[in-house]
């Protein structure tokens, strides 16, 4: 018999699943090229789900359900709320783009987006290895289909194949690592795994062997070096609306499973996985920031930017445990700074991709850096939004990207370890190098002559959302306290359970 708490813990997931099926069925009778009814029904569903998640998160309660296999806590609910908003923004920006490229012949974009979001929800709520893996596969299988959604594009088809092959490898790594940990601990429950490892009655070598594969699988999902091979090709080859989707909400879900596995389940092995994250962070910062310099395609440049930014997230994650001591304050500072970083990065990435989608038109992608030449003369507003995004990604004050980097560096330095301080210095140097390719985009927009005088237009809702998106990047940089407090409170409540 399933108790009421079990149902309460997954109400948003139930709503999302039911409505994804309803949207798919309703779309069968829709003939409009713009899929207006399907779009409206999808947006209404996502708005309700986001409100439910915000309500759950604000309550601050932690619920366990379905035999302890799922958990509903403040951190997970806020991440699910932000993921839902990210999908809504993606659909607002990308609907016109998709219609121009005949990607709305069916309601696949909307139903697959909702199913992908459901996979993110299941991942984020997982308190069991099997549930986590099921959510991951639901997300990845839907994402493969989304990348290949533009059937007449050889680039999209190639990107989907690369994503599928490398994604299957990553899933295999993760599943093998989880099976090793299950074999060592005898439990699939993340909380029980923590207790078994903490008791110290398990062979350490077996656990570390499984841990290596788990970290490798997570690194694939985060796009960290040396498991980053799919990111530039998929970001460039996928339709721009799908690039926006892949670079936003799934990053939040990936952060959630890192916390669930490495912190909630494997924190006693922190001294081992922190070393692995340090190697991944160094490689990501180095490759992401140096390789990005030579890119001419803006989406590919943003892919290498993502790799570099994930390096900063991992720096935050590895700074929590000092000399094997899991101090509560250090854990809060480390993981809240990492959560703040990933949330603000997604916010900035969405605005940057929104400008790319705004400038795109039928038969023209507008994804080369040269396509932005003289944008300030054509539209000072959208040039300003793009400039704000580039400055924020580069970490220039007073934008939110600066405060996000500062919070991670503070967590590193506060640990007092010489190695962590060295990592902080290295991260600053890599950020200075990476600033070159962000500032190059600004230079092209403001100082190069326009290559075309073709006007561009967008629906009112797109212009309003994009303007608000860009404004938030600035406002959260000036007033970061509210979001930082929210992240810290969510992390504290999650760790307390």
Residue 326, pLDDT above cutoff 80: no
Neighbours of 147 (CB within 10 A): 25
458, 96 Cβ separation under 8 angstroms = yes
Range with lowest mean pLDDT among 25-39, 87-101, 132-146, 252-266: 25-39
Q: What is the pLDDT of residue 2?
A: 47
Tokens found for residue 100: 């121009």
Q: What percent of the chain has pLDDT over 90?
A: 56
Q: Which residue shows structure tokens 């969510």?
A: 490
Peptide bond between residue 59 and the one before it cis (omega within 30 degrees of 0):
no
At residue 367 the predicted structure's pLDDT band, cuts being 50, 70 and 90, is confident
Per-residue pLDDT, averaged over 399-417, amounts to 90
Instruction: State the Cα–Cα distance between residues 183 and 181, nearest whole angstrom.
Output: 5
Q: What is the pLDDT of residue 430?
A: 94
Residue 454, pLDDT above cutoff 70: no
Q: What is the pLDDT of residue 48?
A: 93
Q: How far is CA 301 from CA 281, 342, 436, 476, in A?
A: 18, 18, 12, 24
Per-residue pLDDT, averaged over 396-401, amounts to 92
Tokens found for residue 321: 């445990």
Tokens found for residue 91: 């659909």
Supply angle C-alpha 299, 300, 304, rounded to 5: 115
Instruction: State the Cα–Cα distance between residues 29 and 174, nearest whole angstrom.
Output: 41
> Terminal CA-to-CA distance of the chain, rounded, Å?
25
Tokens found for residue 392: 């924020």
Q: What is the pLDDT of residue 323?
A: 56
Q: What is the pLDDT of residue 5?
A: 62
Helices (H), 3-128: 4-9, 11-27, 36-59, 74-100, 108-125
Tokens found for residue 52: 């439910």
Give tens-digit pLDDT for 117-147: 999 999 999 999 999 999 999 999 999 999 9
Residue 329, pLDDT above cutoff 70: yes
Indicate the pTM of the whole model: 0.94
Q: What is the pLDDT of residue 348?
A: 95
Q: What is the pLDDT of residue 368?
A: 87
Range with lowest mean pLDDT among 93-107, 125-139, 257-271: 93-107
Give tens-digit pLDDT for 298-311: 999 999 999 999 99
At residue 449 the predicted structure's pLDDT band, cuts being 50, 70 and 90, is confident
Instruction: State the Cα–Cα distance between residues 373 and 209, nearest whole angstrom.
Output: 51
Give tens-digit pLDDT for 166-216: 888 889 999 999 999 998 888 899 989 988 888 877 777 888 889 999 999
Instruction: State the Cα–Cα distance between residues 342 and 339, nearest whole angstrom.
Output: 5
Q: How far is CA 261 from CA 189, 204, 254, 268, 440, in A?
A: 11, 17, 11, 11, 39
């Amino acid at each position: 018999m399933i108790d009421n708490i079990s149902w309460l813990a997954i109400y948003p997931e139930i709503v999302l699943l039911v409505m994804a099926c309803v949207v798919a069925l309703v779309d069968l009778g829709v003939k409009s090229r713009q899929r207006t009814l399907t779009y409206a029904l999808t947006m209404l569903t996502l708005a309700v789900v986001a409100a439910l998640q915000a309500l759950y998160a604000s309550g601050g309660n932690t619920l366990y359900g379905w035999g302890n296999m799922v958990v509903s806590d403040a951190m997970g609910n806020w991440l699910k709320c932000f993921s839902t908003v990210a999908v809504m923004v993606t659909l607002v920006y990308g609907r016109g783009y998709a219609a121009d490229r005949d990607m709305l012949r069916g309601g696949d974009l909307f139903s697959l987006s909702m199913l992908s979001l459901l996979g993110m929800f299941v991942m984020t709520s997982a308190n069991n290895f099997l549930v986590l893996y099921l959510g991951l596969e639901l997300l990845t299988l839907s994402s493969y289909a989304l990348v290949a959604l533009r059937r007449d594009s050889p680039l999209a088809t190639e990107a989907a194949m690369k994503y599928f092959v490398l994604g299957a490898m990553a899933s295999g790594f993760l599943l093998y690592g989880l099976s090793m940990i299950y074999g060592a601990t005898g439990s699939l429950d993340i909380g029980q795994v923590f207790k078994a490892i903490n008791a110290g009655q398990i062979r350490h070598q077996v656990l570390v062997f499984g841990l290596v594969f788990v970290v490798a699988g997570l690194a694939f999902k985060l796009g960290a070096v040396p498991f980053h091979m799919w990111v530039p090709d998929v970001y460039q080859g996928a339709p721009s609306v799908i690039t926006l989707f892949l670079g936003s909400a799934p990053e939040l879900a990936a952060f959630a499973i890192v916390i669930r596995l490495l912190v909630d389940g494997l924190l006693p092995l922190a001294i081992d996985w922190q070393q692995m994250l340090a190697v991944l962070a160094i490689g990501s910062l180095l490759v992401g920031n140096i390789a990005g310099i030579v890119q001419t395609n803006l989406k590919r440049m943003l892919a290498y930017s993502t790799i570099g930014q994930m390096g900063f997230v991992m720096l935050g994650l590895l700074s929590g445990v000092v000399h094997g001591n899991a101090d509560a304050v250090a854990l809060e500072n480390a993981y809240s700074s990492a959560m703040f970083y990933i949330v603000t990065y997604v916010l900035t990435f969405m605005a940057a991709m929104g400008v790319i989608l705004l400038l795109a038109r039928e038969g023209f992608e507008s994804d080369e850096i040269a396509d932005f030449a003289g944008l300030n003369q054509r539209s000072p507003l959208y040039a300003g939004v793009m400039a704000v995004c580039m400055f924020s990604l580069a970490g220039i004050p007073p934008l939110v990207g600066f405060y996000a980097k500062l919070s991670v560096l503070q967590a590193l330095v506060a640990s007092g370890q010489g190695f962590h301080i060295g990592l902080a210095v290295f991260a600053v140097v890599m950020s200075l190098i990476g600033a070159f390719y962000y500032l190059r985009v600004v230079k092209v927009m403001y100082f190069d002559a326009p290559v075309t005088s073709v006007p561009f237009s967008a629906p009112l809702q797109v212009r309003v959302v994009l303007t608000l998106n860009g404004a938030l990047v600035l406002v959260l940089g000036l007033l970061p306290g509210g979001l930082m407090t929210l992240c810290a409170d969510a992390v504290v409540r999650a760790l307390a359970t």
